[in-house]
Amino acid sequence: MGTVTNARLVTPDGVTEGWLRTEGGRIAALGPGRPPREAGDQTDLGGRWVLPGTVDIHVHGGAGASFTDADPERARSVVEFNRSHGVTTVVGGLVSATPEDTLAQVTTLAELADAGELDGVYLEGPYIAASKCGAHDPALLRDPDPAEFDRLLKAGRGHIRMITIAPELPGAPELIRAAVAEGVVAAVGHTEATYDQARAAFDAGATVATHLFNAMRPLHHREPGPIAAALADDRVTVELINDGVHVHAAIAEMVFAQAGADRVALITDAMAATGLGDGEYTLGRLRVRVRDGNATVIETGAIASSTIVLPDAVRRAVRHVGVDLADAARSAAATPARALGLDGVGSLAEGNRADLVVLDDDLAVTAVMHRGDWVRRAD
């Protein structure tokens, strides 16, 4: 049992200046002012912010490793790197690969999810549009294949949380319905879909828009496309890569104003280069060059994954987009957790997993708690 005191707790009900007690890896109690005397070992945070541990539902790698490596130790290193930086819930993201490689990758990540080291698997492809492939190898893309998807479901053993599908592809509506029926969240992305095709996908059960604006038909006043369809639909959670590269701050502000923090899920889409310096890396089978933190595919010049961790997106949302800290925290924790049905994480509430991120007044991470244990101890 332990207690943090003298903290500004960002809770679902607002900011509370007070304390939070953990027990058995869970949040046992929290409240304003000073804690009760039986609170156990206490850590005085000196008035720093305490947010729920962030939840990244769209991340591919970090610290030189990728989930596509199909190597449990390298996957663990991605999780541990993120956790030490305040990302306490991680869904392992895969990019388009051959059927054999995808099956091996899913099998590896499912084993880590079985062990509680990973919070699920995300398939970004291979059922996406070649014209909007972004940092996916176009040679590896294919039309929705129910038989292949069924094999992946079996290999995933209930841990596949989400799949991105371009709804204009042959068989896409049927696969969206099949995914939803199996408890897998269907997302619309990497797509040339028209407004009507995107709306039909949402009516078929898709509930997420993959990194809104990026790798999809752009917004146009005569053909609004998937962006307008997603923003107008209260059933849809919209992902946003808020790194200052993928989406301009003015657009991010517009998205928050239109959809609100309960529908905006901040993500990183981060790759292996995250946490490292500039240089050349790989994303799947593609070569990526990172300069000044910006990643592009060497062969095509297409913008690739980001090189941030999720608390960076929270800080940028507050400092550059003008989002309230409580809303930014919600978009980085409660909203993505709810979008993927991840229970017991994403908010500072009694009974939830004791995952905390401590920020200073500059909103930099100074401490991280995961399941009640300090991963990065407060100074």
Q: Per-residue pLDDT tens for 20-68?
A: 999 999 999 999 999 987 667 899 999 999 999 999 999 999 999 999 9
Q: What is the pTM of this model?
A: 0.96
With respect to residue 160, please indicate whether it lies within any of the assigned structural domains. Answer: yes
Q: What is the pLDDT of residue 299?
A: 82
Q: Are residues 322 and 175 in the same domain?
A: yes
What average pLDDT does this structure show over 167-177? 98
Query: pLDDT tens for residues 283-326?
Result: 777 788 888 888 888 888 888 889 999 999 999 999 999 999 99
For the ranges 4-18, 124-138, 215-229, 296-310, the lowest mean pLDDT is seen at: 296-310
Residue 78 and residue 43 share a domain = no
Domain membership flag for residue 294: no
pLDDT score, position 25: 97
209 and 93, same structural domain? yes
| Closest of 250, 168, 162, 147 to residue 206, by C-alpha | 162
Structural domain range at position 31: 2-51+348-376
Q: Is 320 annotated as a binding residue?
A: no
22 and 71 in a single domain? The answer is no
Q: Are residues 132 and 232 in the same domain?
A: yes
Is the pLDDT assigned to residue 277 strictly greater than 90? no
Do 161 and 45 sit in the same domain of this protein? no
Give a yes or no: residue 30 inside a domain. Answer: yes
The pairs formed by 278-284 with CB atoms below 8 angstroms and a separation of 24 or more are: 282/66, 283/60, 283/61, 283/66, 283/68, 283/95, 283/135, 284/68, 284/95, 284/96, 284/97, 284/135, 284/136, 284/137, 284/140
Is 269 one of the catalytic residues?
yes
Residue 79 shares a structural domain with residue 97: yes
Are 149 and 215 contained in the same domain? Answer: yes
- Phi/psi of residue 155, nearest 5 degrees: -65, -30
The answer on 137 and 27 residing in a single domain is no
* 298 domain residue, yes or no: no
Predicted local distance difference test score (pLDDT) of residue 39: 61
201 is a domain residue: yes
- The answer to the question of residue 264 being in a domain is yes
With CA atoms as reference, report the closest residue to 191 among 253, 274, 134, 129.
129
Q: What is the mean pLDDT of residues 201-223?
A: 97
- The answer, yes or no, to whether residue 357 has pLDDT greater than 80, is yes
Task: Read off the CATH number of the domain in which 331 is found.
Answer: 3.20.20.140
Residues 6+ apart with CB under 8 A from 129: 141, 166, 168, 169, 190, 191, 192
Q: Is 211 annotated in some ligand binding site?
A: yes
Count the domains in the chain: 2
**Residue holding tokens 């913008």?**
303
For the residues of 225-265, what is the DSSP string, one character each?
Answer: HHHHHHHH-TT-EEEEE-SSSSS-HHHHHHHHHHH-TTTEE
State the pLDDT at residue 153: 98
CATH code where residue 19 lies: 2.30.40.10
Evaluate whether 317 touches 328 at the Cβ level (below 8 Å): yes
Stretch 139-160: mean pLDDT: 98
71 and 165 assigned to the same domain: yes
50 and 8 Cβ atoms separated by less than 8 Å: yes
Give the pLDDT confidence score for residue 227 in this predicted structure. Answer: 98
What is the average pLDDT score of the chain? Answer: 95
**313 and 175, same domain (yes or no):** yes
Catalytic residue (one of 269, 312, 327, 355): 269
Is the same domain home to 154 and 231? Answer: yes
Q: Is residue 168 annotated as involved in ligand binding?
A: no
pLDDT at res. 38:
67
